[in-house]
Amino acid sequence: MKEQAPLPERIITRGIQAAGYSSILFVLLILYFLISEGAPAVFEVPLKDLLTVRWYPIEAYFGILPLLLGSLIVTLGAALIAIPAGVGTAVFISEVAPGWMKEILKPLVEVLAGFPSVMLGFLGILIVSPGLRQALRLPTGLTALTGSLLLAGIAIPTIVSIAEDALNNVPRAYREASWAVGATRWQTIWGVTLPAARSGVLMAVILGVGRSIGETMAVMMVTGNAPVMPLKWNALFSPIRTMTATIASEMGEVATGSTHYHVLFLIGIILFLISLAVNITATMIVFRRPKRSERILS
Amino acid sequence: MVNLALAWAEAYQKEHPDTQISVTGGGSGTGIAALINGTVSIANASRAIKSEEADKALANGIQPVEFVVARDAIAVIVNPHNPIDQLTLQQISDIYSGKINNWSELGGEDRPIVRLSRETNSGTHVYFLETVLRLGHKENKTLFSMDTLLLPSSEGITAEVKDNPNAIGYDGLGYIIPEVKVLAVAVDPAGPFVMPSAITVNDGSYPVSRDLYMYTNGQPGGALKAYLDWIIQPEAQAIVTQLGFVPVIGAIQ
């Protein structure tokens, strides 16, 4: 006869199981809610009207293209700044900095990661935006680039913190072997340590950039929120409007059940799909089967 | 205006716990329609009652009595370094609709114009669109230029205007800070150009302003009268200033 685990243990097991399943349930519920509120928009506004370039919802102009491209350009700009800076800082802290400096830098970065984004937004309005306007002689400092800089500021601590952990987990023997065959410190970092920590570094980049796609407050404060199509060469230096800022600023006053309300939820669905795509790509890269040579090495 | 009505009701009920006031939003038309149907004691409206509404009310046995309870004015602001001091409504409309793109076209410096506006969900945005951009004409379908910056807060607008010599913005008179330059506005190019202030708003000479009303059925009595009397007291009018509106001066009605 199979021996039963004691009661408290069974309760704990069930509890943990329930917590695990509930997260799946919540995601499904959110998805259901998004679709039930957002899907009517597709029937109320013809697709060709949704795919126009004018967003002015109080007069029933529901062109979402400028919002979509606005979000993409800000996030792309942030990724271009945050990935080299974040991974670079992680490499510096893990591989180059002396022990005492590491002890100071790592906690500092962790504090930065918990910095509220609305405070970053204030810094953006008071310092970054006027600074950019004067330095680059722009008509206004409330631009996509300002948003990208702040988003990079939000993404960098996440990237540094996780990537540094990943680099730290690379066994010391790898580096010693590399030095032993005469590789310089730079060759070791670039050719051995970084590739060995690849999946962790990639995860860091995706979590960091993922945080910046969904970030709202700081972006809403500094990008100017003008729904312009970012197609000209100077788009990065012009105001734009993101999807998150649109939802945040308009959802509060919109009449429940109106076309505008449904279109805002449709934008929510698009955001959901984008982050889903990013996450699936990340999982596929991180969990892909290692090559034979890599298996032997590790 | 629903914010103002809510703030008043809240403050009044704190002082008079025996009086119950419930406030619902929905727009001026909704409020007046509810008064005509006899479902509310007071209709708040940011426009005067229309003659057809008044006729309908009388046919229903309701006698609307008008009270001006506060005023609303929008100031047009630029950076203190901008040499422009005054604009006509038509010029402001042309700036915001994108017909005028450089301050030199208005006799200012050779600088691009950066247009700032409140978000579309703000009552100020809609009022500015109807009164200034469309110059009060119903059939006028002028829209804000697409590159108009839509800022989520009054602070966002004043902060940018304070720093940026290219910027033009607008906001409720109560939100204006001394570090920005307020423009004098005229309906007619020949003038007079009027600066917004409590006085010019109250005597009606500043063009971008409107009265805010409450309507009751017949002359109010009892608790209703006590409430309406309280609203024009300095204490209640201080709430008007806090919310960015302009208080009424002197006796009303």
We report the CATH number of the domain holding residue B36 as: 3.40.190.10
Residue A12 forms part of a structural domain: no
Residue A235 forms part of a structural domain: yes
Closest-CA residue to B113 (of B165, B70, B35, B37): B165
Ranges of residues in chain A with a pLDDT under 50 are none
Nearest to A253 among B111, B121, B150 (CB): B121
**Residues in chain A, how many?**
298
| pLDDT tens string B38-77 | 888 888 888 788 888 888 888 888 888 988 899 888 999 9
Chain B residue numbers touching A249 (CB-CB < 8 A):
119, 121, 150, 152
Contact A140 B151 (CB under 8 A): no
Rg (CA), chain A: 23
Residue A84 forms part of a structural domain: yes
* Beta strands, E only, B154-249: 167-172, 181-182, 184-186, 209-217
> A170 touching B, CB under 8 A?
no
Residue B92 forms part of a structural domain: yes
Peptide bond before B192: cis, by omega within 30 degrees of 0? yes
Residue A30 forms part of a structural domain: no
Helix, strand, or coil (residue B207): coil
B156: tokens are 């966002």
Given this model, what pLDDT does residue A291 score? 63
- Same domain, yes or no, for B66 and B84? no
Residue B23 forms part of a structural domain: yes
Give the pTM. 0.79
DSSP secondary structure letter of residue A236: G
Q: What is the mean pLDDT of chain B?
A: 86
| pLDDT tens string B181-191 | 999 998 888 87
Given this model, what pLDDT does residue A29 score? 93
CA distances from B182 to A47, B147, B158, B237 (A): 44, 23, 11, 23
The pLDDT > 70 percentage for chain B reads: 98
Q: Contact, A159 vs A83, CB < 8 A? A: yes
Helix, strand, or coil (residue B167): strand
Q: Is the pLDDT of residue B252 over 50?
A: no
Dihedral sign from CA coordinates of A32, A38, A44, A49: negative
> B177 touching A, CB under 8 A?
no
Chain B residue numbers touching A245 (CB-CB < 8 A):
152
Return d(Cα A150, Cα A156) in angstroms, integer.
10
Return d(Cα A84, Cα A87) in angstroms, integer.
5
* Residue A50, phi then psi, degrees to nearest 5: -65, -35
Residue B79 forms part of a structural domain: yes
| A102: CATH | 1.10.3720.10
Residue B253 forms part of a structural domain: no
Q: What is the domain range of residue B162?
A: 73-202
The pLDDT > 90 percentage for chain B reads: 21
Residue B247 forms part of a structural domain: no
Residue A2 forms part of a structural domain: no
Cβ within 8 Å of residue A177, ≥6 positions away: A192
Residue A142 forms part of a structural domain: yes
> Which contiguous run of DSSP H or E holds residue A108?
helix A99-113
Contact B146 A126 (CB under 8 A): no
| pLDDT tens string B193-214 | 999 988 888 888 898 888 888 9
Confidence label for B251 from pLDDT (cuts 50, 70 and 90): very low
Return d(Cα A295, Cα B106) in angstroms, integer.
72
Chain B residue numbers touching A130 (CB-CB < 8 A):
163-164
Q: Contact, B246 vs B73, CB < 8 A? A: yes
Return d(Cα B206, Cα B208) in angstroms, integer.
6
Q: What is the ipTM metric for this complex? A: 0.79
Residue A58 forms part of a structural domain: yes
Cβ within 8 Å of residue A31, ≥6 positions away: A272
Could you give the number of structural domains in chain A? 1
Residue B252 forms part of a structural domain: no
Given this model, what pLDDT does residue A292 score? 59
Q: Which residues of A161-199 are buried (b: 16+ CB within 10 A; e: fewer)?
A: bbbbbbbbebeeebbeebeeeebeeeebbeebbbebbee
Contact B164 A130 (CB under 8 A): yes
Given this model, what pLDDT does residue B253 score? 38
